[in-house]
Structures are given as C-alpha cells and as structure tokens.
Structure 1
Amino acid sequence: MEDAAGNIIASLGRVRLVDLAANEGLPSDNYKMCVSTLSQSLAQYSAAIIQLPPSDGALLRCGLDSARLFFHQRGYSSSEAVHSDGTREWCKTSGYSVVPQMWLELYDYRPGVTVTEPSGTMELPPSGLPDIFSVLGKVSRDILEAISFSLNLRSCAFTEILDNIPLRSQEVSSSVLSACCHSRPSFEGAHQHSIASQDDGELLMFSDQDQQMDKTLLTLVKSDMSGLYVKDLHGRWILVDGDLGPHDVVVYPGLALYQETAGYVNPAVHKTEVGNLQGCMFGRCSLLFKLMPRSVARLSGSEMRAAGHGIDAQFQVPIPVNDFMQTDHSADQLFPKNSEPSSHTEQDSASFNSSMKKKKGSTRTKPLPPSKRLRLEAQRVLKERVQDIADKKGIKLRFCNLKECESHIRSSDSPCENIRLEIGWPQGVPFVHPHDLPNKAKLGFLEAYEPGWTASQQEMELSF
C-alpha cells in the first residue's frame, strides 16, 4: 500500500467558525481569507480543521465522554442483530449497530426516528446527541455556504437538496449523527484486523475496509484520539487529526458534494487506524456528523451550470438521491489516477505511453485524436494553471456560452475581454470551459499553458 506511514501529518487549513459565518453585505477580507484557506485545504488534503466556539467544543467533549461510557457498559455477543446500510434503508438507520469487519460499533441518532431495542423497549442513547446534532448541523451548513462562495455560486445554493429547518411534521432527517467506537477490547472478532503497514518496527493496523468514501455532502469528525487518515492530492495517506485542539473538528467532503458540484470538490478517501490501542479499555470513540441530501432530492449540478462552470457529460444527467445512495462508487473508478495525480510522474507517463502504443498509423503531422486523455488534460490545465492564475490575481472566473463567445473574441469591447487578457487565455479561443471546446481548440488551449505540449505528443506518436 502506498505511503500508509503514520508519521505524515498534514498542515491542514484551520479556520475559526466565527470567521467563516456569512453576513449580509460585502464580504470582509477576513471572510475571504478564511474561505480561501478552507477551499485550498480541501483541494490539497480533502480535509480541513474547523475551530468551534468554546461552548460548542465543551458540548462535544461531554458527548464523547457519554459515548465512551455507553459502549463500555453495553455487552455484545455474536448472536446480536447486526445491521448496515445494505439491510436497512440508508435514510432510516438509527440506534445501535455493529460492523464486525471494521471493529466498529455505532449508535445512530436521526431526528424523527424513535429508537427501540429488539425487545420493543426504549433504548437509552448516549446523552447530548440532540444538542450536538443541532450544533454540528449548523456548522456543516456554514461550511457548505463557504464552499458555495468559493465556487462563485449564489447564496443558499444547496438549500433545495437539504432537509428543512426545522423538520416538518412526520419528516425524518436525512442527516445523521453517529457515536462510534473502534476496537473496544470486549468487542468480539478482534482477530479480524488487517495489517496495513510497518514503519520503524511499529505496526499500524487498519480496518479491513480501507479506501472508504462517504456518500455525504460533508462529514464532521470529533474523536478522543488520533487515527483518521485521508489521501491527499499526491495520493499519500496523511494523518488529519493528529494535531487537534480541544475545540477543533475535522471536516471532509463526500460523494454527494462531488456529484452536486460536478466534480469540482473531490470526495475524501479515508480510513481509520484501529491498532495501537493496547491498554485502552474504551477503544477509540468519535462523533461523526454526516450532512446528507434529502432522500427526495435530485443531484443535478444545476447551480454549477448557472454559475457558468463547465459540466462534464457524466454530471449532466440528474440523479435521484435514493438511486445515488444505492449505487456502488469505487475510488479506483472515480479517480483512476488517484495515486498519481501529477501528469508528470513516471507512472502517468508510462500509462499514457501504453495507450499510445495501441494507436497505429501515427505520423508526425497527425494531430492528437479526440480522447478521454485529452479531456482530462484540458480539465487538469484549467484547475492547475488558469484557476491558479485567477486566484493570485483575485479574478472570479465566469465562463461564457460557446456561441456567444465566438463573437466576443472578435470584439475589443466584450464581457470577457479583460479576464482573457489578465489570465493569458489563448487568442482566438472562446472563453469557455475546456470541456465545451472543440478538440482543435482544446489543443490550442493546452499549448498556450504548456508550450511544447503538442510537439511532445507528436514525437511520442512518431516513436511508436
């Protein structure tokens, strides 16, 4: 497994919640700085740290203490009922459950659901869950607003896919707060651990199901000890909760936000360390708040389209949330180059060379044919070059419609003239997202930001 070492601690972006809350009127410099810190941390590490007010931090610590005692006093036997999202509807899970292969016990709190034991009696949950749900729900929505601001979306862009505030009569919350306990010593099945890596003679052990991605909009995590790992931009496993303060929580995006933002916000690929807990009689306890889209909503990316962002074909068909939740999503399928994000790595070059070998009859004058590789290159150049230039210059990108911009490029007085000049957009190329450009224009786009790119590809084709 690549770079699963536990000594990699990321310098995640850290922002205070009070600075991230949006107010009426013009955004302050402090707000814009916090949004930038958040968005850059999510882009680089797929996670960020949010510092809550002291009162909220104290509430979470009390919740962790209560969860620790709840699991400690609760017995478990292999004959006890085990449920998962596969055996019950995803938006109705509640109460106690176990996932043996992950050494994990959970207690799901979901407003609108009354939890009962198999015997029919009321189950007493860890204390404070309703208050914690309310606090973390507000925090997650503030974070979502900051993300929408960074993407140049309108205010409350995600309101249509979120639960009502407050819930209406007979409604059940789609979002859920889970009290979790990993590796409790009395929990049976401990022998099912799997070894992930060994560094300096110390074993790091992880649950059997690594490479996880939550089907959430956002996930907020507060734990009583470190152990949460997330893959960063370069495909390395990094420890994201190794340097948390008493009022800090970790936030990372999920697959639903990836779908709703048309791939502009990547979901976190994460796993939890379940080893190195010798002598810990309670295991590793944590509180997970999962902000979910409501079950009757549709993920369409319409707000991204309205903001002028280019939408790839795979995101253009709206998906009902229920269908989305029942579809398997693999990290390898979504990110085939997840472990090699840079196009300049040797592995990526080897992969491209292999695909080029399959092409026959290539000549020096033959242009690069339309391909998924070309589209991915265009998207990468946009994110790594154009967006970087725009951020440094403080420019908010809003792409034109393809047909309209064909007249803009011939006019000296057009809506996109200044932006095109400031970021060095190729002359004669419509100012639209590369996904919307014809293939010849994509070649010109790439050549402008990576001089020599076309020639290098032609030389590679000639060598085969």
Structure 2
Amino acid sequence: MGAMAGNNLPSLGRVKLTDLIASEGLPSDSYKISVSTLSQSLAQYSAAIIQLPGNDGALLRSGLDSARLYFHQRSSYSAAEMVHTNDSREWCKTSGYYADPQLWQETYDYRPGLTPTEPNNTMELPPAGLPDVFALLGKAARDILDAISFSLNLRSSPFTEILDNVPLRSREISSSVLTVCCHSRPSFQGAQRHGLTTQEDGQLVMFPDHDHQADKSLITVVKSDKAGLHIRDFHGRWILVDGDIGPQEAVVFPGLALYQATAGYVSPALHRIETGNLQGNMYGRCSLVFKLMPKSMASFNCSEMAAAGHGIEAQFQLPIPVDDFMQRSHPTDQLFTRHSFPNYNFTAGQDGSLKPLLKRRKNNTRCKPLPPSKRLRLEAQRVLKERVQEIADKKGIKLRFCNLKECEGHLQSLDSPCGSIRMEIGWPPGVPFVHPHDLPNKAKLGFLEAYEPGWTASQDMENQPL
C-alpha cells in the first residue's frame, strides 16, 4: 500500500461495467485501465462506483420506486417478522419481510428458490421487478469479482467452485440474495430511533446504535434513492460514497467472504448508514442491495492465491467450510489487514501496449508457517493498535492518523493538526503520527515498549522452542 502513496486516486474510482467484462484473447487497454482503477479504489476507499448501461439504470429506478410503494403500504409488523440477528444459522435461508425496530429498518429478502409467506401462511406480494434486478446485479457482481481476480493475477473465474450455478439447478436455493431496504420510514409502527450523534465537518450526523458493520458477502452492490452510505477508507476516515452517483451508477464493495477467499489481500468494507437527514421524508431511504454469497456446502481455501505466488499467512492456510465461516462472529478490530493490495500501474511499454507491473511478495511459500520474528511483528502491530486506541478512548480522543509524508512536516511545525493528539496520548517525539501498520518493523517493536515495557522480552520467551 505504501507504493500506492504517490499514485492515489483523488476520489472514489468510477468504472464502466462494460469495460470490466472480460473477453477472449489479450486484455484490451480499457479493460486493464478499468481493473487498475477498480483495484486502487478498493485499496484506498474499500469501495468503487460502477456505471451500468443506461437501460439497466432505468430498471434500478423502477425497482426503487416499487420498493418505496411496498414499504409505504405496510402499516405494522408482527413478532414473527422481527429480525433475529443472533441466529446466524439462517444466513442462507432468509426470505420475505423483516423488521428491525432498533435500527428503524425494514427489509425484504428476495432469494430465488424460496417462496416467502406471511406468518399466517398466506402468499406475500413482493416488490415488483426483483427477478430482473437480481439477474442484473448478480451478473455485475460476478464480472467485478472476475476483474478483482485479474488484478490479483489469479486464473480465470477462480471462485466458480464456491458460487451458485448459473442458472440454478432444480430444487437449488440461491445463496446470493437481493435485499430491498428501507431506513427511517416515518410510518414504521412501533419503531424507536436509537442513534448516536457525531459532529463531522460542522454538520450533525446521526447513525444507528451499531456504528458500523461488514457484510459477509464476496461482493456487495448497492443502489439507493438517497445519499447516506458511509464507508471507512484506508486512513480510517468515513467517506460518503453515494453522494453524487448518477441514475445508472451503483456502489460496490468487498465483504468478509472475499477477505477470507483472498487470504486477506482484499480488505472488507466497513460501512454505516446516515439517518439524520431524512426528517420530513414520507418514504424514508430505500436501497437495492445485492450480496454475492458463497454457497453453504463449499469451503474457503487459498490454493488459488498460493498458486498465483501470493504469500499465505498462517491463519488462512487451513480450509474453512463456508457454513462455519458464516456462523462465526468476525470482530472488525481483529481482522488481519494487509495493505499490499496489488497496485497495477499500467504504463506504455516499448511495444506500445499496456503492461501490468506485478508486485509479488518475496519468499512466497504455500503452507510454511510464519517465522517467529514475523509473528512477533504482527502481534506487536495488533497490540500496539489496541493500546493506542485504548488510551484514546479513555481520554475521549477521536484518532485521525496522518499521511506519513505529510506528518514529517507536522513534526517540525509548532501548530500542526496532530500535535495535540500526539501529546495527549503520549506518542513518542520525532515519530510521525501514522497508523501502527505504517510503522517500520523495528519501530513497531521499539514503539510498543514505550506503552508496555517488557513486552518484547515476554514474547521472546513464548516463542522459544520447548
């Protein structure tokens, strides 16, 4: 990720879906440039904007209109329709209407192969056009997944074995799901708004109690009728990603399943919905959310990543059944984050064509455990991040880390944006105020000693062979 510093995208990457569709033979220049833009945008912002063909945009607008009418005509919900968030076993079986009063959110899950019914066993009339929207966004998500595979130098369609059949076979139920969402509908009966309020850039912003979440999908594609989707970028800042998207554009971001399938090379997006700007709106905020999911009977393994020459950390070396992975909790502060998502700078070669400058990790090994020194550095990074955050939380400080190059100038300035934060949390003098993963390896260990004296010695004792 450090190599990307001089080539950052100034804003969220915009890519035409038609330019991401692979074709036989050599990749075109437009394909390689689009893949480069997509991969850089996912690395910097954990999201990108996909431009769909004009006719597809009309279908999405129609789907959103239908969603507004569907939720507006519902006057109440029953106890049977309440979301049970602790029942992770139902991750691939949800279908029909659900309500979450705490988040002031209603959803309708469309899952081909399942026929939703009301609690009294009567047929429920769903929003219109869902099969067509499902097919449209499902195809887009698969094309995007293949483009990410190309950027990682994987073979064609490497995730086919963990995806549903196209089309589904007889009696198969779709693992992927199209969710129609409605946030903050004023006529939502019994809902009580629980929000937290933060002050950002002088504006009052309200978010639900669950401040942020990460989807368990491979790829998520979102089209909303109103802005409000915030995603955390590489620097830890929350970015409004759907503030200026056009009628035929949608937001795409990776989920936890892709993070696992790529051995951590593609980080999942952390996202949250703004609900403080909908006062007086009779319909609330409606969204079409397609989640490309792995099938429950498959397993995650990183053999494709290893075959492409990528280093595989110890925690990704053992296969994990998809169903087990989906039923586990995944605290976002414990995710192993790589900051080396390939940055393909496609430049003109001597033959006039565009060639990717591939970056591969040194000493690539397929199943070799991490050496003690590497495990020590990774553990130091994790503990250091926790200690710094713990101090900030106790003092009520909101951390905003600097760019490494910019902060070198901050250290020489008497009135710098990070000066007071560095002083309050005891940041060592002369060290740029950057996220712990940006510190050099030796600095990670030495820096941690300032917060927890004797830590390195204790870890050395634990890593000694018995």
> When the two structures are superposed, what TM-score results if normalisation uses the length of structure 1?
0.74
Alpha-carbon distance in 2 for matches of 1:462, 1:272? 38
Within-5 A mapping of 1:206-221? 206-221=207-222
Could you tell me how far apart the structure 1 residues matched to 2:374 and 2:116 are?
58
**Do structure 1's residue 158 and structure 2's residue 159 form an aligned pair?**
yes
1:455 & 1:96 partners in 2: Cα distance? 53
State the partner residue of 1:371: none
Aligned to 1:394: 356
Match runs of 1:254-273 below 5 Å: 254-273=255-274
Paired residues, number: 373
Who is 1:34 aligned against?
34
Amino acid at match of 2:157: C
Alpha-carbon distance change, 25 to 205 in structure 1, aligned in 2, over 3 angstroms: same
List per-residue Cα deviations over 1:312-333 (Å, max 9, x = no partner). 0000111111100100001111
What is the one-letter code of the residue matched to 1:82? M
Distance in 2 (CA, whole Å) between partners of 1:453 and 1:77 is 54
Q: Distance in 2 between matches of 1:460 and 1:180?
A: 45
Distance change in 2, residues 1:190/1:146 (3 Å): same
Per the alignment, do residues 179 and 460 of structure 1 end up closer, same or farther by CA in structure 2, a change over 3 Å counting?
closer
Unaligned runs of 5+ in 2: 1-8, 348-354, 377-438, 454-466
Tell me how far 1:19 sits from its aligned partner.
0.6
In the TM superposition, what whole-angstrom CA distance separates every residue of 1:102-140 from its partner, at most 9, and x where no partner exists? 111000000000111111111000000000000000000
Could you list the per-position Cα deviations for residues 51-79 of structure 1 after superposition, in whole angstroms to 9, with x for gaps in the alignment?
Answer: 00011110000000000000000111465
Give the corresponding residue for 1:249. 250
1:3 corresponds to which residue? none
Contact 2:77 2:99 in 1 (8 A): no
Whole-Å Cα distance in 2 between the matches of residues 75 and 273 of structure 1? 24
Whether the aligned pair in 2 keeps the contact of 1:310 and 1:436 (CA below 8 Å) is no
Q: Which residue of 1 aligns with 2:45?
A: 45
User: Aligned runs of 1:46-445 on 2, under 5 Å?
Assistant: 46-77=46-77, 79=79, 81-84=81-84, 86-87=86-87, 89-199=90-200, 202-334=203-335, 383=340, 394-397=356-359
CA-to-aligned-CA distance 1:150-179 (integer Å, 9 cap, x gap):
000000101000000110100000000011
Deviation at 1:193, TM superposition (A): 2.2
165-174 vs 78-87, which deviates more?
A: 78-87
SS in 1 for 2:15: strand
Runs of 4+, deviation exceeding 2 Å: 77-81, 83-88, 188-193, 198-203, 387-400, 430-433, 435-443, 452-464
Residue 389 of structure 1 and its aligned partner are, at CA, apart by 9.2
Q: Which amino acid aligns with 1:94?
A: S
Distance 1:437 1:171, change over 3 A: closer
Cα deviation, residue 80, structure 1: 5.5
- Give the direction of change, closer, same or farther, for the CA distance of 1:198–1:326 in structure 2 (3 Å limit): same
Indicate the percent of aligned positions where both proteins have the same amino acid: 62
**Which SS does the other structure have where 1:146 is aligned?**
helix
Instruction: Please give the secondary structure, in 2, of the residue aligned with 1:192.
Output: coil
Q: Distance in 2 between matches of 1:42 and 1:237?
A: 14
The separation in 2 between residues aligned to 1:460 and 1:123, in whole angstroms, is: 59
Tell me how far 1:243 sits from its aligned partner: 1.0
Deviation larger for 79-88 or 16-25 = 79-88
Residue matched to 1:23: 23
Structure 2 CA distance for partners of 1:117 and 1:149, relative to 1, 3 Å: same
Provide the rounded CA distance (Å) in 2 between the counterparts of 1:186 and 1:459. 57
Stretch of structure 1 that moved more, 301-310 or 229-238: 301-310
SS at structure 2 position matched to 1:271: strand
CA apart distance, 1:302:
1.5
User: Secondary structure at 1:191's aligned position in 2?
Assistant: coil
Bigger mean CA deviation after superposition, 193-202 or 44-53: 193-202
What letter matches 1:285 in structure 2?
A: C
Q: Aligned in 2, Cα 1:308/1:182: closer, same or farther, shift over 3 Å?
A: same
Q: Which moved more, 1:260-269 or 1:97-106?
A: 97-106
Conserved 8 A contact 2:80-2:119: no
RMSD: 3.0
Q: State the shift of 1:461 in Å.
A: 9.6
C-alpha distance in 2 between matches for 1:16 and 1:30: 10
Specify whether residues 453 and 211 from structure 1 end up closer, same or farther in structure 2 by C-alpha distance, changes over 3 A only.
closer
Whether the 8 Å CA contact 2:45–2:234 is kept in 1: the answer is: yes
The CA deviation at 1:436 is 6.9
Task: Tell me the CA shift for residue 188 of structure 1.
Answer: 3.3
**Contact kept in structure 2, 1:296 and 1:322, CA below 8 Å:** yes
SS in structure 1 opposite 2:192? Answer: helix
Over 3 Å counting, the alpha-carbon distance change for 1:96 and 1:30 in structure 2 is same
CA–CA distance in structure 2, aligned partners of residues 195 and 10 of structure 1: 30
Inter-CA distance 205–440: structure 2 relative to 1 (3 Å threshold): closer
Amino acid at match of 2:49: I
Determine the C-alpha separation between the residues in 2 that align with 1:207 and 1:10. 29
- Is the contact made by 1:231 and 1:269 (CA closer than 8 Å) also made in structure 2? yes
**Distance of aligned partners of 1:312 and 1:105 in 2 relative to their CA distance in 1, 3 Å threshold:** same
User: How far 1:86 moved relative to its partner?
Assistant: 3.5
CA–CA distance in structure 2, aligned partners of residues 217 and 319 of structure 1: 15
* C-alpha contact (below 8 Å) 2:306/2:365 kept by paired residues: no
Conservation of the 8 A alpha-carbon contact between 2:194 and 2:208: yes
SS in structure 2 of the partner of residue 195 of structure 1: strand
1:18 Cα deviation from its structure 2 partner: 0.7
| Conserved 8 A contact 2:75-2:189 | no
Aligned to 1:404: none
Deviations 1:273-322 (A, max 9, x none): 11221110000000000000001010111110111111000001111111
Q: Are 1:211 and 1:331, in contact at CA under 8 Å, matched by a contact in 2?
A: no
